[in-house]
Structure 1
Amino acid sequence: MKKILVWLIVLICTQPAFAQEPLQAILLVDRPLPPETYLYRVLDLALKNQDRPYNIKIERIDATQPRRVKIVNSSTKDYVLALGSRREHEELLLPIYVPIQLGLGLGHRIMLTRPDVEDRLKGVKNLKDLSDFIFAQGLGWSDVKILRDAGLKVYTPADPTSIPGMLMRNRVDVYPRGLFEIDLEYNRYSPDYPDLIIDDYIVLSYPLASFFYVRKTNKQLYYAIRKGLRKAYYSGQLQDLIMTDPVFSKTLQSIHLDKRVKIEIPFKNVSQKTLSALEEFTFVSEKKVGKAVKH
C-alpha cells in the first residue's frame, strides 16, 4: 500500500512535465475565413511544426486595419494578425519574420479595373505613366504610403468593399490587390459588377511581405509560430502549400508574371529585417513538391 501511495505521488508531481496545456492561437480577421483558406492553413502548418499541442480559433471583428492592430496590442487574448510589413506594425506588435507567402503575394500587385482603363494601361511603360490614374486602397493599408510616396494618387475609403462600386462609377481607376488575392477578390465582386476585370498588362512590384504578428509580450506564441514557420520553410512544406493551393497554383499559371510590364515602386519605409526575411525565405522556382529547400 505504501509503495502504491509513493507511486501515485510521483505520478502527480511529474504530470505537468508531459501534459502541457495546448497553445492557443486566435486568428483575428475582418471577414469570414473558412478553415480551408491559405491563411488558416499556413498558421496550422506552422503550429504543427512546433512542439506543443495547440488550438486555433478564428475571431472576426469588423474593424479597420489600424483598429485591429490596436486590439491585438492591448488585448490579453492570444491573437494572431496577418499584416503587410510596415515599420509602424513592426514597432507596435511583434512580427514573425518569415513571409507567409514567400514574398510573392503582397510584393506583386495585380489591378482590378474596368475595360476602358485597361485600354489606357496598355500604354504604361514606367512609374511616371501611372501618375494619370487614380488608385484605391483600404484605409490604413501598407500600400497607401508606398503608392503616395511614389507620387501616385490614392483614394482611401473606410470600407474597402465599396471600392469595386467606385471603379464602376469612374471615381477611381485601379484597385491593386496582392497576387494571391486577385482571383478571390474578382470572384467576390464580379457577380455584382459584371464589367469588373483583372488587368492583363501590368504588375506592380515592391519589397512588401506578409507576416504574422502577435502582441509584444506574447513571447510564447511568437516563438512557437517562428519555430514552426522556419521548419516548414526549410523542409519545403511552406512552399508546397503555395504550390498545391487550388487558388494560388491557378493564379501562378494564369497571371503570367513574366509577360507583364513590371513597374518597380520605390519603398523607403521598409525595415532591414523585412529585407533580410525576403532574401532568406524566398520562393524557389525550381523546387519540386515534396522536396526540401536547400540551405
Structure 2
Amino acid sequence: MKKILGLFSLIILIAARSAFAQETLQVILLVDRPLTADTYIYRVLDLALKNQIIPYSLEIQVVNASEPRRVRIVNSSPKNYIIALGNRKEQEEKLLPIYVPIQLGLGLGQRIMLTRAEVKEKLKKVKNIEDLTQFVFAQGLGWSDVKILRDAGFKVQTPAKPANIPKMIMYKRVDLYPRGLFEIDLEYERYAAEHPGLVIDDNIVLTYPQASFFYVRKNNHKLHDAIKDGMEKAYKSGQLQNLIMTDPVFSKALKEINLGERVRINIPAQNISKKSSEALKKHPFIFNKKKGKTINK
C-alpha cells in the first residue's frame, strides 16, 4: 500500500513539474505607435523567444504616451511587459536591461537628419560640431539622445509628442530631427504627405556610441533571463545579424544611405554606462559575415 501511495505521489509530483515547466510565458511588447508582426522590433523579439526554452506567447500593446510614462507602466505592472529603449543610464537604473543590442550597434549610432530644403543647403557647408551649433535640434521627451546632443553643445527642444516635430520643422521652430539609419526612410514616408517640404539631408551623419536594448520590470528576472538567453543564442548563431541583413528596410538603408560619402560628425557620449559599452563591443555587426554563417566569438 505504501509503495502504491509513494508511486502515486511521484506521479503527481512529475505531473505538477511538467505543468509548471510548460507554463506559457505571456510577453507583451509595449510600443507608442501601431506596428505589425513583420516589423523588425517584433521579429527580433520573437526570434529571441524562439531561441529560449520556455513556451511563450507574444502580443503588441500600443500606448500613445511619452517614454517616461511608458517606463512607469512597465515598472508598475505585474504583466510581462517589455520595451525597447536607448542605452540611457537613467533607464538602465529604473528598469532591467537585456544587454544585447537590438540592432548590433547600427542604426541608432548613426543619425541622419530630417529637415527642410533651406536647411539642407546650409548643411552642405557643415564640417564639424561647431558648424552644427547654429541649428536647433528636436528629439522626443525623455529620449536618451537628448543628453548626448546637449552635452555636445547643441540646442535641443523636446516636445512630448514626437509626431509634432515635422510640423515644428516646417514652422521653423526647430531645424534638425536626427533619426536612426534604419528609421530615416520610414519616418520620411510617415510625414512627407502631410509635410511636403520635409527632406532628408544627404551630407552629414552624426555618430555616437548608442544602442537600443530590450528592458523589463526591475525585478522581472524570469523574463529578463529568457530574453537574454534567446538574444545571446540568436547572436552567436548568426540569426540576429541575418535578420538585419535580410530586413527590407535595413538592407535598403545599408546600400543606399551612402555612409562612406557623408561628412562624419563624431559626438562623444558621456552618459553611456560601462555595461552598455561592453555590450556594444561584445555584439558588433560583422560586415564581412556571410548570410547563414555563425559568429565565431
TM bracket, shorter-chain basis: over 0.9
Q: Secondary structure at the match of 2:133?
A: helix
Q: Gaps (5+ residues) in structure 1?
A: none
State the alpha-carbon separation in 1 of the partners of residues 40 and 252 from structure 2. 13
State the alpha-carbon separation in 2 of the partners of residues 105 and 172 from structure 1. 23
Match of 2:155 in 1: 153
Match of 2:139 in 1: 137
Query: Superposed, which structure 2 residues align to 1:18-167 within 5 Å?
Result: 18-19=18-19, 20-167=22-169
**Of the candidates 240, 243, 251, which is equivalent to residue 245 of structure 2?**
243
Q: Secondary structure at the match of 2:150?
A: helix
Deviation at 1:99, TM superposition (A): 0.2
For 2:25, give the aligned amino acid. L
For 1:13, give the aligned amino acid. L
* Residue 13 of structure 2 corresponds to residue 13 of structure 1: yes
Deviation at 1:54, TM superposition (A): 0.4
Deviation at 1:251, TM superposition (A): 0.8
Query: Superposed, which structure 2 residues align to 1:255-294 within 5 Å?
Result: 255-294=257-296
Query: Structure 1 residues 184 and 8, CA, compared in 2 at 3 Å: closer, same or farther?
Result: farther
For residues 131-176 of structure 1, the C-alpha deviation after alignment (integer angstroms, 9 at most, x for no partner) is 0111111111111111011100111111110111111111111100
Deviation at 1:294, TM superposition (A): 1.2
Match of 1:224 in 2: 226
For residues 200-238 of structure 1, the C-alpha deviation after alignment (integer angstroms, 9 at most, x for no partner) is 111101111100000111000000000000000010000
For 1:21, give the aligned amino acid. E
State the alpha-carbon separation in 1 of the partners of residues 65 and 48 from structure 2. 26
State the alpha-carbon separation in 1 of the partners of residues 23 and 227 from structure 2. 16
State the alpha-carbon separation in 2 of the partners of residues 8 and 57 from structure 1. 39
- Amino-acid identity (%): 63
For residues 7-52 of structure 1, the C-alpha deviation after alignment (integer angstroms, 9 at most, x for no partner) is 7765443123334101121111110011110000000000000011
Q: Secondary structure at the match of 1:285?
A: coil
Aligned residues: 294
State the alpha-carbon separation in 1 of the partners of residues 287 and 178 from structure 2. 24
Deviation at 1:77, TM superposition (A): 1.1
Match of 1:194 in 2: 196
Q: TM-score, normalised by structure 1?
A: 0.96
State the alpha-carbon separation in 2 of the partners of residues 16 and 143 from structure 1. 48
Match of 2:208 in 1: 206
For 2:152, give the aligned amino acid. A
State the alpha-carbon separation in 2 of the partners of residues 6 and 77 from structure 1. 38
RMSD: 1.6
For 2:33, give the aligned amino acid. R
For 1:68, give the aligned amino acid. R
State the alpha-carbon separation in 2 of the partners of residues 277 and 13 from structure 1. 41
For residues 236-292 of structure 1, the C-alpha deviation after alignment (integer angstroms, 9 at most, x for no partner) is 000000000011111111101111111011211110100000001000000011001
Q: Gaps (5+ residues) in structure 2?
A: none
State the alpha-carbon separation in 1 of the partners of residues 55 and 77 from structure 2. 23
State the alpha-carbon separation in 1 of the partners of residues 29 and 11 from structure 2. 36
Q: TM-score, normalised by structure 2?
A: 0.95
Deviation at 1:5, TM superposition (A): 9.5
Deviates most, 162-171 or 12-21: 12-21
State the alpha-carbon separation in 1 of the partners of residues 27 and 209 from structure 2. 28
Q: Secondary structure at the match of 1:28?
A: strand
For residues 84-143 of structure 1, the C-alpha deviation after alignment (integer angstroms, 9 at most, x for no partner) is 001100100000000000010211111101111111001111101000111111111111
State the alpha-carbon separation in 2 of the partners of residues 162 and 150 from structure 1. 24
State the alpha-carbon separation in 2 of the partners of residues 252 and 16 from structure 1. 50
State the alpha-carbon separation in 2 of the partners of residues 254 and 16 from structure 1. 55
